Structure 1
Amino acid sequence: LTRVMITGFSIDWTTTSLFYCKFRLYFVNICAQTSSTCLCLAIIDQYFATSAHPRWQQWSNIKIAHRLVTLFIIIWVLCDIPFLVFYNQIYSTTTNKATCVSTSTIFTQYRIYFNTPVLGGFLPVCIASVFAIMAYLNVQRIAFRTVPLVRRELDKQLTSIVLIQIPCTIIATVPYVIINILTSNQNLMTNPVIWAQIQFASSMSLLLLYAGSCSLFYVCIFVSERFRRQLMFVLTKIVCHRWTEPNEVAPVQIAIEA
């Protein structure tokens, strides 16, 4: 919503509200890092679930998953507190307008060169890729184990979803990380043509980043036949039935007094 208001209507709430200036990036980073962490945890869980060793299979547990997700949410909430501390509104004497920027050079360098590219980009992609490949190798060895047919097919579908989701995540994340580093180069701002091209590339990378958030839904539709059947059932049997439910007329008996 904030991006739509800024780019579409030139209304920047971060320049009018100090709380929103501090809270916006803080909340965005928590959500982004929690999302990438959950993706990594889901792929690691798939690796444990397809493992041939019972000791590793015990780690594929819903209680452990809930505890890990809660733990990482707390970690990101605490780690992103510097966004609340160092982001402030700076008033320009030339434009008489306020801008929401970081007042700490060290924290700015940390955000540009470590927080966004490493914690939000390459590290979760590398972890997810490694465990996705290992889960795929586990699925390849399922044929040599006594596993029920239904469980075998479900593991294959989930692993296929994971393997396709990884390239989608890379395509959605890496361009934004690269453009984010380029926009921090002050020398590029001296050339208006190059700077305009970078701004255009930045807008496109943001679109890819936003599209990556919903890519898992389309990957599930493309890969999983069971998911497609469930989706069609929900759309045709539940949603459509609710809107096309016929009116029921019940007879009412009225006593007529003599």
Structure 2
Amino acid sequence: MAKENNATMEMNSTLDSVQFIYSISKIFELSADIIILTTGIIGNVLIIFFFTKLRIFRGNQCAYYLKICAITDMGVVIAMLPSNIVGYLINEILVRLTVIWCKIQLMCSYSCGLYSLYTICFIALDQYLSTNHRQIWRQRSTIRLAHCLSYLNISVAVFHGILFLIFAEIGIIGCTIYHPIARIYFTFFYYPILSGVLPLAISSTLGLLAYRNVRRIIRRQIPIVRRRLDRQMTAIALARVLCIFILGVPFLLASLVEANTIYSFQDPRGRAILSFIVKITYTLLYANYGINFYVFLIISPRFRHQIKNFILKKRWRQVTRVCNQEVVSPVNNQSTPENDPCPVSVLESV
């Protein structure tokens, strides 16, 4: 009798702890998703806006990559987080309601994510080429090459999106790949290599080489404006590589562990803890797609200065337009300039 009571108490304690873990996990994920969705949309829109409007970035290949990367980053955030938030509020996982939504969501999110991941590699490649001490390599850094690599990237991303559209199903662990052959491909190639080791190795290696090239720029006779721009874009590229490495690697590791151990967990408490850890890594991954603008502001004082000057210039033009209005004289019907109370200054061109 005593053993039965102890077993019952232990079971109740386990159920209480499991329920507590799931409650904390739900609150954490809901709060994080709302914050990342809001800041991610605002930040990516600002990246597109400023890298389009600032004159110094026009025609720059790295700026082109950053703009399309911001578009795909926003695609990942919009494809995943709104449905997650609604699901938490109504206490229902939306992707489990219909297999069509399951397939479409995975196709859009993973296609945009893979495209963004390899765009980071192309950013590092462009900075390595544009800062290379060999002129023949610098000449290869062109907007035409950026367009060709983007088209190749789109092809690979769309192909894998179609795979998710075909093989994604709703099962015991939710909306994912259950087909045995496709599961082998995604478990042993897609996650660890195609979206893991390969892009991280390429982007980090090229990023470090570009950093080494930038340190040698001062020895070359090039315009100071170009030298500062190369340093700035290399710093931004390295920051982007560092973000995907720090925030993306935990997700890949946790996904592999979950995919290969979820069925072997007999303890409900261990399964709940694993689920909570995976949700934390998911949050870190989504944060990677939403914090880039703010990271650029932190690591690049020149970028902050450019944005500040751009905003002040626009504001100054509005003020001077009002201050320089002409007043028509009622005596001779001639236009005379109104006394301008606003001082005139010249802001640094951006």
TM-score where L is the length of structure 2: 0.62
Greater relative contact order (CA < 8 Å, ≥ 6 in sequence): 2
d(CA) in 2 for partners of 1:127, 1:228: 29
The answer to whether the 8 A contact 1:157-1:223 is kept is no
Matched, 1:217 2:298: no
Query: What is the match of residue 229 of structure 1?
Result: 305
**Aligned match for 1:30, one of 104, 111, 117:** 111
Query: What is the match of residue 37 of structure 2?
Result: none
Query: What is the match of residue 206 of structure 1?
Result: 282
Stretches of structure 2 lacking an aligned partner (at least 5 in a row): 1-81, 326-350
d(CA) in 1 for partners of 2:182, 2:133: 45
The answer to whether the 8 A contact 2:254-2:278 is kept is yes
Query: What is the match of residue 144 of structure 1?
Result: 219
**Aligned match for 2:128, one of 47, 62, 76:** 47
Query: What is the match of residue 251 of structure 1?
Result: none
d(CA) in 1 for partners of 2:155, 2:222: 37
d(CA) in 2 for partners of 1:137, 1:169: 21
Matched, 1:133 2:208: yes
SS at match of 1:51: coil
CA drift at 1:71: 2.1
Distance change (3 Å), C-alpha of 1:123 and 1:200: same
**Aligned match for 1:158, one of 203, 214, 233:** 233
Range moving further from structure 2, 36-45 or 111-120: 111-120
Following superposition of structure 1 onto structure 2, how do residues 184-203 of structure 1 map, counting pairs within 5 Å?
184=259, 185-203=261-279
d(CA) in 2 for partners of 1:241, 1:201: 51
Query: What is the match of residue 167 of structure 1?
Result: 242
Query: What is the match of residue 116 of structure 1?
Result: 191
CA deviations 1:123-144 (Å, max 9, x no partner) are: 1111001001111111122122
d(CA) in 2 for partners of 1:212, 1:240: 35
Distance change (3 Å), C-alpha of 1:240 and 1:106: farther
**What is the CA RMSD across the aligned residues, in angstroms?**
2.8
CA drift at 1:145: 1.1
CA drift at 1:232: 2.6
CA drift at 1:239: 8.1
The answer to whether the 8 A contact 2:84-2:94 is kept is no
d(CA) in 2 for partners of 1:203, 1:89: 19
The answer to whether the 8 A contact 1:39-1:128 is kept is yes
Distance change (3 Å), C-alpha of 1:236 and 1:193: farther
CA drift at 1:156: 1.6
d(CA) in 2 for partners of 1:119, 1:241: 49
SS at match of 1:211: helix
Stretches of structure 1 lacking an aligned partner (at least 5 in a row): 93-97, 249-258
CA drift at 1:236: 5.5
Range moving further from structure 2, 122-131 or 150-159: 150-159
Range moving further from structure 2, 102-111 or 192-201: 102-111
d(CA) in 2 for partners of 1:55, 1:149: 21
Distance change (3 Å), C-alpha of 1:100 and 1:159: closer
